[in-house]
Amino acid sequence: MSTREPALFASSRPFPHRWRLVGRRLHFTHRVIPPQLHLRDPLYAAILLFIASLQGAALWTADAFWQEKTGEWILAHGQVPHVDVFSGTARGTPWVVQEWLANTLLAALNHIDHILPFVLMTFVIDATCLLMYVRARSANANPQWALIVTAIAIIGFGSFFWMRMFWWSYLLLNLTLWLLEDYQRTPSLRILLLIPLMALWTNLHSGVILGILVIVMFWLTTHPRIAAAINQTGHLHAHALSKTAWSRLVLVGVLAIAATLATPNGIDQLAYSLLNGTDPDQINQIDEWLSPNFHNQQGARFGLFLAAMLALLFTRRHIPVEVALLLLGFGAMAFYELRNIPILVVALAPMVAATFADAPEQNQWIRTRALQVLPHIAWWRAGVALLCLALLSGTVWQTRQHYDTYGGENYYPMAAVDYLVEHRIPGQVFNDYVFGGYLIYKGIPPFVDGRSDLYVKTNVFRDYLDVSNGSVDPDPIFRKYHVTHVLIKPDSYLASELMQRGWTTLYSDGMAVILVPPTQRST
């Protein structure tokens, strides 16, 4: 029986000898490109990058200032600090710099050009988005379902596109899951990459604990006996490894977990990952530690993603056990703390898309006159060119937009801090929590900053909250820390309270106000 080539790929040009077309899939004879790669993958990847570039969030955050300054300190001293060297209230307190390598990279790029950190973080964000699509397609998932689910995921957590070191954990969590999923399908020596990956991760961010959790999860779900028991439930599906493959996975996993100790912080790195964020003051007072609010943009996007994933899962008869465990575990973390939403999205979305590997393709979606006239290799080249263009233009556009919008005086108290630097007011400043990072950046020891775990240890954070909320008389606490002036938001409760007590305004604008007590007016 003869077969005819689909009209979509009809061309009078000879097909290059290194490429061959089987059905609607492009194969490379030397196996450089995975055999399941589809001709439309570069085009779909470009679409996903375009969607990512439209997500509106503050790429630069207050923490990036003290992180950049930490990187400068490391480059200048040739070592990682183990005690606080920046604040005026916790100096000398033990400090776990759990993202020292990311901070050093941030400082080095910022030294070359102030826009380079934005470029790097945008590339990390784009790489994370693309890797979610690659994970879905690596499971031989239908490319259109991979596109749909990944697009929903990007929209679901697009409001978290911040200049935060968390992004290294999102990217490396994706890579870890990719290696584990690949080994689950076809055991190979590529799993050895898990060891250097975890060693790199532990020095970039404390989120390496997530990698340990997913390694343990794959140990359990791929064990022959456990997988057999799971498959008997009739609703969950587990892919069992052979005894030899499973033993190798355990060995590599043990070595990978041991590699997480290859950091200047040693075992303190993992302890920090487990204990940070357990203090009630952090959980109840800092926005990113709160539970999702479904009445704002972040909560609404998360709700959209979760509803879409659940709807897709209920259309499948057998749900992979890894999907169920991630949904329960990381889902509970996302509901508990807002900052964990991207963890659930990044881990879960590609797995949900992979459940549609056997879904029929809807070819009519892309059968247009414009696409029908493209020859085979022209389709591929056009897709790759569009992907490169989307990556370059999207990065430049998004970087420039965020740098102009959030790197100026409309977001941080630049003018007020310049006033402090110029007039050199003696004594300790009492500052708003979000102003602390910028004070460190300008060389002024803050009262508190984004390193809340550091101030929780010494009760400084509790004193800060009591004064800011008006629950105590501020004068005793100001005397305790030798506070001589305050730098706070002009519409805050404390600003109104101090003005009523006769404090004098030295400087004020729409972003910040500087106040001094009556005894310092002449000074």
What is the spatial distance between Cα 373 and Cα 379, in angstroms, rounded to a whole number?
9
pLDDT of residue 398: 57
The mean per-residue pLDDT over the stretch 319-336 comes to 91
Longest dimension (CA), the chain: 100
Q: Is the pLDDT of residue 29 over 50?
A: no
* For the chain, percent of residues with pLDDT exceeding 70: 79
Give the model's pLDDT for residue 254. 97
Average pLDDT of the residues in 150-167: 86
Q: What does the alpha-carbon distance between residue 436 and residue 432 come to, in Å, rounded to a whole number?
A: 7
pLDDT of residue 108 exceeding 60, the answer is: yes
What share of residues in the chain are helix, strand, coil (percent, to 5)?
Answer: 60, 5, 30
Q: Tens of pLDDT along 434-477?
A: 899 999 999 999 999 999 888 988 899 999 999 998 889 999 99
pLDDT at 424 over 50: yes
Q: How high does pLDDT run on average in the chain? A: 81
Provide the 8-state DSSP code for 163: B
pLDDT bucket at 489, cuts 50 / 70 / 90:
very high
Which pLDDT belongs to residue 403? 52
Residue 26 has phi, psi (to 5 degrees) of -95, 125
When pLDDT is averaged across residues 220-228 and rounded to a whole number, the result is 93
Higher pLDDT, 389 or 252: 252
Strands 483-488 and 428-431: parallel
Residue 21: pLDDT over 50: no
Sign of the C-alpha dihedral computed for residues 251, 252, 257 and 258 taken in this order? positive
DSSP alpha helix (H) spans, 260-320: 267-275, 280-285, 297-313
The pLDDT of residue 131 is above 80: yes
The average pLDDT across 230-243 equals 88
d(CA 463, CA 222): 50
More confident residue, 123 or 216: 216
CA distance 62 to 6: 55
Q: What average pLDDT score do residues 326-337 get?
A: 92
Q: List the beta bridge partners of residue 299.
A: none
Burial class (CB in 10 A: 0-12, 13-18, 19+), 483: buried
- Residue 10 clears pLDDT 70, i.e. is over it: no
- Give 123's pLDDT tier (boundaries 50, 70, 90): confident
| 41-79 pLDDT per residue, tens | 777 888 888 888 777 655 567 788 899 999 999 999 999
Confidence (pLDDT) at 519: 75
Evaluate if residue 276 carries a pLDDT over 70: yes
Band of pLDDT at residue 523, cut at 50, 70 and 90 = very low
| Cα Rg, the chain, nearest whole Å | 26
Instruction: Report the pLDDT value the prediction gives residue 357, as an integer from 0 to 100.
Output: 67
Residue 83 bridge partners (DSSP)? 94
The answer to whether the CB of 448 falls within 8 A of the CB of 433 is yes
